[in-house]
Amino acid sequence: MGLAAKPFESIINNDLCDQRTEIASDTDPLADSVPPRHAIESDEEEDEYNPLRPQSNLSTTVDVQLVGSVTPVPVSGLVIATGSVGRYWARGADLGEQIAAVMVNKIQVGLLFRPSWTKAVVLVSEVTTRLPLWAMHPYASTVLDALQPKSVALLDTYAVSAYISDTRIAYPDAPMRFLTTDPSSTSLTSIAQPFAAPNLVQSTSAAFVALRAEHSASATLLLIPAPHVAPPRPARPRSK
């Protein structure tokens, strides 16, 4: 029995602002410093209250569970849309009824759908809360182990203002960029440019791609340009 889609529709319809006007202005009190220029994160605002933010007197135990049913497994493909760009894309993607959820420490972080227009399962991730660094790998590992996808496609953002390149590129002229575990793939070169070193992806998408690369499995990350660098993610709890 699928989960009701209404809560997700409420989430994505509450934010009608255009992504190009988002300004990430909050400061994370747990951050030791601002992120370096090459630290790329998805461009979304830090919620005023983040239930997954670790406190100094709490452990970083991660309990990741998939609630609901996704069948059959392995799935033929998995599409992961993360953060603000995932929220905007999902609003017009006709995803249908939510079939499952990915919970982290009893907080819903991922919403799973099986749209009628594709054989792939769709995961809309981190639309209401951002995962701390310590939760990214367990989250990605649990999702991949549970669904065993044959291929993975990811949609995320990169901060244009922090992107290192030979030529300074203004946000309106910034291209889409991509990362892939398949070096011979040329399917995206006509619409996007490679996400080149020394730039880094530090969102949860990086955990998914890294895990796929470890197993020589297919994964492609498409990065949409964003105007601002997101606030640093919550750090590990500090000992008193």
pLDDT digits (tens, 9 = 90+) for 46-80: 445 566 665 554 557 899 999 999 999 999 999 99
What pLDDT, on the 0 to 100 scale, is given for residue 148?
A: 97
What pLDDT, on the 0 to 100 scale, is given for residue 186?
A: 75
Do the Cβ atoms of 167 and 182 come closer than 8 Å?
Answer: no
Alpha carbon separation from 215 to 79, 114, 144, 155, 210 (Å, rounded): 18, 25, 11, 21, 9
Alpha carbon separation from 219 to 76, 122, 128, 180 (Å, rounded): 13, 14, 25, 6
What pLDDT, on the 0 to 100 scale, is given for residue 128?
A: 87
Three-state DSSP at 153 gives strand
- End-to-end Cα spacing for the chain: 46
Partnered with residue 152 across adjacent β-strands are 78, 219
C-alpha to C-alpha distance for 79 and 153, rounded to whole angstroms: 5
Q: Chain-wide mean pLDDT for the chain?
A: 80
Please state the rounded mean pLDDT for residues 199-226.
Answer: 96
What domains are defined for the chain? 6-13+36-50+59-226 (3.40.50.10900)
What pLDDT, on the 0 to 100 scale, is given for residue 44?
A: 45
Do the Cβ atoms of 77 and 113 come closer than 8 Å?
Answer: no
Residue 185 — very low, low, confident or very high, per pLDDT cuts 50/70/90? confident
Residue 233 — very low, low, confident or very high, per pLDDT cuts 50/70/90? confident
* Structural Rg of the chain based on CA atoms: 17
pTM of the entire predicted model: 0.74
